[in-house]
Structure 1
Amino acid sequence: MPRRLLPLINQTGPHGSRSAMTCHYRCGDACDKPIPNTSDNQHMSQVLTSVVARRSLLMGGAAASVTVGLGATLAGPAAAAGEAAGKRRAPAAELAFRPVQPNVRDNVTVPAGYDYDVIVSWGDRITPDAPRFNVYKQTPHAQAQQFGYNCDYVGVLPIEGKKNRAILGVNNEYTDPELMFPTDWYDDATQKRIEMAAHGFSILEIERGRRDGAWKQRAVGKTKLNRRITAETPMRLTGPAAGDKRLRTRADRKGRTVHGTFGNCSGGMTPWGTFLSGEENFNGYFDASGDLDPAYADSYARYGLTGEGRGWSGVDDRFDLTTEPNEPYRHGYVVEIDPHRPNAKPRKLTMLGRFKHEGATTSLSEDGRVVVYLGDDERGDYIYKFVSRQKFRKGNGPKAHEHNVGLLEDGTLYVAKFTGDGLDDDEYDGTGEWIALTSATESYVDGMSVADVLIDTRLAADTVSPTKMDRPEDIERNPVTGRVYAALTNNSARGADHPVDEANPLDSSMVRESLDAPLTSASGNRNGYVLEWVERGNDAGATAFRWNLFLVCGDPEAPETYFGGFPKEQVSPISCPDNVAFDPAGNLWISTDGNVLGSNDGMFAVPTRGRERGNVRQFLTVPVAAEMCGPLVSQDGLTVFAAVQHPGESDGATFEEPTSTWPHTDRFPRPSVICTYRIDNQRIGR
């Protein structure tokens, strides 16, 4: 594929291409702060010396031929896993669209023969009582009935008996007041209340649009399913930790009712038709008016709670750690939302642990139990898995629904340990195990109760020697092959604060050498990678697995990159994988966040098997300074849904002087959900 990379702009910054504004408002400048995980858990140090020595020697010469995955050997144990489990698989489906070239346009760019529609944008009416959006007449009450800000996770669930209608669920992760509000237009208290209402989750009914793969928002007066969930919506705390003394506050003496959800990043959908929403950077919302309780010092430190928040305590004192030290223990969970029952309270699932949840994607074990894969999006944190005790029941009846809704409150929570195989084969692969942390009734961590493990999950995991990872984000299981894929976005501290190992291979010297940059300008694993594993017996409920690196992202001309064994000169450059999804044929779709190769972020598709395995193709790019979120490929293969988050969030941008105006409906940017489709009404990618 002929291509020309853009200049390597922003390569020297500590945040890649992500602006300091984004880092501040989304994650509270987490990358500028000490890494919370100070445990001595290793990064497979038993293979560190030999692996790094081999790779350093190889990179000094013709490094383009270095293998860092199971490309040649995947036809062995990993590829045979589906057959070993007695499953028949369809032939690999090759992708045929012409890749989009890297660019810096202020628009969504799609391949030839494709188009896209905006389904919903920040401020659009969700409920019948919502006023039409007017950026100069915003109120907390209006925003609580309008589509929220900075959309991230996108889920679509069918409506029984309505073939051409569906329910769209979207996380509204965070707000940026510099782009949302005209300067000096609103007083501080009103502005903060509006921001609180712009967080959370948006649910809206959608219907088929102008083409087979197109969708649009259904008129708000024609549906009863639309709903906004905000930072103030009442929710139930469920599972074994509910009612624990650390979850009790002055407003909730029983520790079972909490108001609001915020910092919601990725998510998932359950087999019984609910949305799962992961609370991620919740720690950045809490202020402190005075001293912090020393009894909570270790816990606060492990979760990055410093008392430097967004100032919300000025309008709601539950965000003041000094007066309400227990409030942060009520956040950092997976939230379950039932879109078919608009009056049902969302449920915070303590059984899935408390940490910076990137998402929560489900699968079924061979015997029918529900499995949830979970990533803790922090430099040096862990990958988790939950397996329910009871089995999923098919059917839409009330008894089946009642049974299934309880599945995520009773089971076992595990954390992953990756081990290199130690072979002198110049490959990054090995074995792994899931270490049990707790069941609903018994803790497996010495000195910690079940509630201790579920509330201070990071501290519990630190004690059992799991593997530190590079910002484990979205994790999905391939519905065709059963292999599992995890996006590990990046870690600028790789090789400095964090050692190199087989599952986390790139260090600062390799990146500096490959980019021919000064020693002080580039550091660590800046482009990220995609990890692939297969559970023993291809059973999602198993406690052992084999893993390999599927993609080592970056400029294909750089020696350390690897694309599943596919010829590097034919692939699209890709940087900072964030979210992953699958189409019905089992091709992997990847969205990126923080591309450091000079182009806008975007979406990529790559086959995971067959002769095209590893052939990364760029499917679209997003506007200036935006992040590509989602994605989701419809079951009929006609549509790719995605969220365009924080367009125009560049350093120095203001409401009056934006760097993007996408989707170009106003003089300022509006984060939006889009759908992409072929104009000839055929399946995506073919």
Structure 2
Amino acid sequence: MRKLLTVLGSHPGGRSAMTCRYRCGDACFHEAPNTSGNEYAGDVIARALSRRAVLRAGAVGGTVVAVAGTGACSSGPAGAVSAEEAKTKGKPAKGLRFTPVEPNTDDKVTVPEGYGQNVVIRWGEPILRGAPDFDPEKQTAKAQKGQFGYNNDFLSLLPLKEQEGDEKRQLMVANHEYTDEVLMFAGYDADDPTREQAEIGWAAHGLSVVVVEGEKKSGALKAVPRHRLNRRVTATTPFEVTGPAAGSKWLRTSADPGGRKVLGTLNNCAGGTTPWGTTLHGEENVDQYFANTDEVKDEEHKKRLQRYALKGTDTERKWERFDDRFDVTKEPYEPHRFGWVVELDPYDPDSAPRKRTALGRFKHEAAQPRLTSDGRPVVYMGDDERFEYLYKFVSSKRMRRGDSRADKEHNMTLLDHGTLYVAKLTGDSPEDEIDGSGELPSDDHEFDGKGKWIPLATGDDSHVKGMTAEEVYVFTRIAGDKAGATKMDRPEDVEPSPRTGRVYAALTNNTDRGAAGKAGPDEANPRKGNKHGQVLEFTEKGDDPAARSFSWRLFLVCGDPEDPSTYFGGFPKDQVSPISCPDNVTFDDYGNLWLSTDGNELGSHDGLFGVATAGRRRGEVRQFLTMPNAAETCGPIVQDRRVLVSVQHPGEEDGASVEKPASQWPDGPGEYVRPSVVSVWRKDGGDIGV
């Protein structure tokens, strides 16, 4: 359907070497820290699809069963419309009725015809009272503490609960995942950064809370600076540690001998919005901030650090030169205080954010809750690294729907009590037919199967032999290893559909899949050398979020639609937008799944895509926008009349610097390249995609 562009770059996932250095510490260029012998779940899917194409081609006068339970295709009388052709008749799914954006490498945010856009807020814009306007040549840590942070990722929009607010105003919460100092400071010396530059970096990490106001006649948004609810949370903001691991010996440091107070949050990737009005934020690639793992003498401690990808001596940013807590030879347990899910009350600027230990410690991509029928929160989570696991937390406490102080205090304890699980997926086809060839198994001509949630810990009780509950929470990856969890291809955002309850997991990629000495194929997981990623769909038993078992099937296998190993929910492949490396997910009010991408391996810039999850258009992928040069699509929000995205790390290409920018977005030539939040809307004032 669409001409694909020449592939850019050579790093896994299509990212530049600079992005790999600053965002995740070159994670894909080091051995994956999971060396367990557990099964792998990430490559089954492609095998199904190449075989499916063969079956279609040879189906003359016969019937072919489609993959993933999408029904049967059969040849009919001459001139008849096939079931596949019938899917393309009529309009796209409601919410997706826009002209798809073509793949491109333009240095701008490209949106569909008839849509407008505006920059809501840029890195460095003042949001707190007393903060100065952004001056890139006169940056200070004090100023940055009152300004919008760097590399915005997850976004949440909440109603404004105050008398002065109206339907035009909302409260926006944004993550700031990491800093890219070479693009922040003119003349930056990576070998010899200054203390002021390090402290600016600390202040540019974390979270921002900003009131935003919409225009009456469009979906345009603008930030309301210096509003009383605006807030910055940084790498030095005091946090409370809560839940069953609070006070653990593994969390104690010289500055915090009680193990209950932590300074700051780091590498906040995606997140979630709770039904009780708070936001959740996943601490992801925290390993890169800590120096001198190779010099640790205690072999057991070093082994645990390495399981969390800590390695080497000095770090990229050299923060250990200015604060001993970033040197594991001086503060051995400081790394254990990061890698949690953070909960924030955005309506209370004076409240302390909390690190929720009951949800386990790993490279959290996101955390989006749903409620059981009796009102208990369930949170699905992915550990974003090659061969890591999918997790679920089920609270033992029910949410209160009142607005009293007692109700609010109760709801702020919901994520401290419950059971943490890890997923194991199995297939149902003959084992000798799951050989990595891509050929469909003979039993039902599809790749699907069952799964179970293995309990790891409940409160102070461990369910993992040889580990205490505290160890399970602090060293959750090791607990998953021992439990026999299924290895996945970089599990990122995992979210339930608000309409159907089905759960969708974005698995971004894993080029190590099937390599020498690595885990091989199983029925739950796809291609060798998986460059493009896939999306798995889960249904809990009895549609109960607290169930201990589930069924799974393939929804998307991403990549070039002309590649026989790709699959789009059963929709005709010549009628979809090509998509690569799915990352963050969200849903619109019509039940469509929206996917942002991170590292498009098809040569186009990253983008935002909508895809129908039900009906005859199920699997129809339609591209809504693309990013500027080298930028990643993050934080998508899809409302009735606007779409919000975070434009993260624009211009982050190899060799780029302040003096040699690789992008001119958002303000044109001669200006600093600045990560920003963008709002997109229909120019005629109508609803998105209808």
The 1:303/1:213 distance shift into structure 2, 3 A limit, reads: same
Name the SS for the 2:396 alignment partner.
Answer: strand
Name the SS for the 2:247 alignment partner.
Answer: coil
Task: Tell me whether 1:349 sits opposite 2:356 in the alignment.
Answer: yes
The 1:184/1:23 distance shift into structure 2, 3 A limit, reads: closer
| 1:376-413 residue CA offsets vs partner (Å, 9 max, x unmatched) | 00000000010100111112211111111100000000
Q: Report how far residue 159 of structure 1 moved.
A: 1.4
Alignment of 1:89-100 (within 5 A): 93=94, 95-100=96-101
| Equivalent residue for 1:650, pick from 649, 653, 677 | 653
Contact 2:496–2:503 (8 Å) recurs in 1: yes
Structure-1 residue corresponding to 2:37: 40
Task: Tell me whether 1:498 sits opposite 2:502 in the alignment.
Answer: no
Q: Report how far residue 625 of structure 1 moved.
A: 0.4
The aligned amino acid for 2:510 is N
Contact 1:94–1:612 (8 Å) recurs in 2: no
Counterpart-to-counterpart distance in 2, 1:42 and 1:184? 45
Structure-1 residue corresponding to 2:292: 288
Name the SS for the 2:174 alignment partner.
Answer: strand
| 1:144-194 residue CA offsets vs partner (Å, 9 max, x unmatched) | 111111011111111125322111111100111111110159952211111
Q: Report how far residue 43 of structure 1 moved.
A: 2.5
Counterpart-to-counterpart distance in 1, 2:666 and 2:176? 17
Name the SS for the 2:138 alignment partner.
Answer: coil
When the two structures are superposed, what TM-score results if normalisation uses the length of structure 2?
0.90
Counterpart-to-counterpart distance in 2, 1:27 and 1:149? 15
| Equivalent residue for 1:362, pick from 369, 387, 410 | 369
Contact 2:283–2:338 (8 Å) recurs in 1: yes
| 1:216-249 residue CA offsets vs partner (Å, 9 max, x unmatched) | 10132xx211111111111001101010111111
The 1:3/1:323 distance shift into structure 2, 3 A limit, reads: same
Alignment of 1:278-677 (within 5 A): 278-288=282-292, 291-292=295-296, 293-308=298-313, 309=315, 310-422=317-429, 424-496=443-515, 497-507=518-528, 524-634=529-639, 637-664=640-667, 667-677=671-681
Counterpart-to-counterpart distance in 2, 1:572 and 1:444? 45
After TM superposition, what 4+ stretches of structure 1 lie above 6 angstroms from structure 2? Answer: 51-66
Identify the range of structure 1 (283-292 vs 371-380) with the bigger mean alpha-carbon deviation. 283-292
| 1:342-400 residue CA offsets vs partner (Å, 9 max, x unmatched) | 00011000110000000110100122110111110000000001010011111221111
Contact 1:474–1:486 (8 Å) recurs in 2: yes
Q: Report how far residue 341 of structure 1 moved.
A: 0.6
Counterpart-to-counterpart distance in 2, 1:588 and 1:113? 22
Task: Tell me whether 1:71 sits opposite 2:52 in the alignment.
Answer: no
Alignment of 1:96-175 (within 5 A): 96-160=97-161, 162=165, 163-175=167-179
The 1:230/1:321 distance shift into structure 2, 3 A limit, reads: same
Name the SS for the 1:284 alignment partner.
Answer: helix
The aligned amino acid for 1:22 is T
Structure-2 residue corresponding to 1:85: none
Name the SS for the 1:142 alignment partner.
Answer: helix
Counterpart-to-counterpart distance in 2, 1:289 and 1:350? 24
The 1:557/1:54 distance shift into structure 2, 3 A limit, reads: closer
| Equivalent residue for 1:188, pick from 194, 205, 215 | 194
The aligned amino acid for 2:196 is T
Contact 1:661–1:670 (8 Å) recurs in 2: no
The 1:620/1:66 distance shift into structure 2, 3 A limit, reads: farther
The aligned amino acid for 1:446 is K
Name the SS for the 1:557 alignment partner.
Answer: coil
Identify the range of structure 1 (467-476 vs 493-502) with the bigger mean alpha-carbon deviation. 493-502
Percent sequence identity is 53
The aligned amino acid for 1:500 is P
Q: Report how far residue 61 of structure 1 moved.
A: 8.6
Identify the range of structure 1 (413-422 vs 159-168) with the bigger mean alpha-carbon deviation. 159-168
Identify the range of structure 1 (536-545 vs 304-313) with the bigger mean alpha-carbon deviation. 304-313
Structure-2 residue corresponding to 1:197: 203
Structure-1 residue corresponding to 2:84: none
Contact 1:14–1:492 (8 Å) recurs in 2: no
The 1:317/1:585 distance shift into structure 2, 3 A limit, reads: same
Counterpart-to-counterpart distance in 1, 2:688 and 2:648? 22
Contact 1:52–1:500 (8 Å) recurs in 2: no
Identify the range of structure 1 (602-611 vs 301-310) with the bigger mean alpha-carbon deviation. 301-310
Name the SS for the 1:463 alignment partner.
Answer: helix
| 1:70-98 residue CA offsets vs partner (Å, 9 max, x unmatched) | 32289xxxxxxxxxxxxxxxx97362100
Contact 1:493–1:525 (8 Å) recurs in 2: yes
| 1:527-572 residue CA offsets vs partner (Å, 9 max, x unmatched) | 0011111111111111111111100000101100000000000000
Contact 1:36–1:303 (8 Å) recurs in 2: yes
Name the SS for the 1:136 alignment partner.
Answer: helix
Q: Report how far residue 117 of structure 1 moved.
A: 1.2
Counterpart-to-counterpart distance in 2, 1:212 and 1:182? 37
Contact 1:17–1:594 (8 Å) recurs in 2: yes
The aligned amino acid for 2:194 is D
Identify the range of structure 1 (211-220 vs 225-234) with the bigger mean alpha-carbon deviation. 211-220
Counterpart-to-counterpart distance in 2, 1:180 and 1:67? 51
Name the SS for the 2:335 alignment partner.
Answer: helix
Contact 1:5–1:597 (8 Å) recurs in 2: yes
Contact 2:193–2:318 (8 Å) recurs in 1: no
Contact 2:39–2:519 (8 Å) recurs in 1: no
Q: Report how far residue 55 of structure 1 moved.
A: 6.7
Query: CA RMSD, aligned part only?
Result: 2.2
Q: How many residues align?
A: 644
| 1:249-280 residue CA offsets vs partner (Å, 9 max, x unmatched) | 11011110000111110000111111111000
The 1:284/1:66 distance shift into structure 2, 3 A limit, reads: farther
The aligned amino acid for 2:142 is H
The 1:53/1:428 distance shift into structure 2, 3 A limit, reads: closer
Name the SS for the 1:23 alignment partner.
Answer: helix
Contact 2:211–2:223 (8 Å) recurs in 1: yes
The 1:184/1:404 distance shift into structure 2, 3 A limit, reads: closer
Contact 1:370–1:392 (8 Å) recurs in 2: yes
| Equivalent residue for 1:30, pick from 24, 27, 31 | 27
Contact 2:136–2:185 (8 Å) recurs in 1: yes
The 1:52/1:201 distance shift into structure 2, 3 A limit, reads: closer
Q: Report how far residue 52 of structure 1 moved.
A: 8.8
Name the SS for the 2:393 alignment partner.
Answer: strand
Name the SS for the 2:196 alignment partner.
Answer: helix
Contact 2:231–2:349 (8 Å) recurs in 1: yes
Note the residue ranges of structure 2 that are not aligned, 5 or more in a row: 59-63, 74-91, 430-440
Name the SS for the 2:609 alignment partner.
Answer: strand
Alignment of 1:139-288 (within 5 A): 139-160=140-161, 162=165, 163-184=167-188, 188-209=194-215, 211-220=217-226, 223-288=227-292
Q: Report how far residue 639 of structure 1 moved.
A: 1.4
When the two structures are superposed, what TM-score results if normalisation uses the length of structure 1?
0.90
Note the residue ranges of structure 1 that are not aligned, 5 or more in a row: 75-90, 508-523
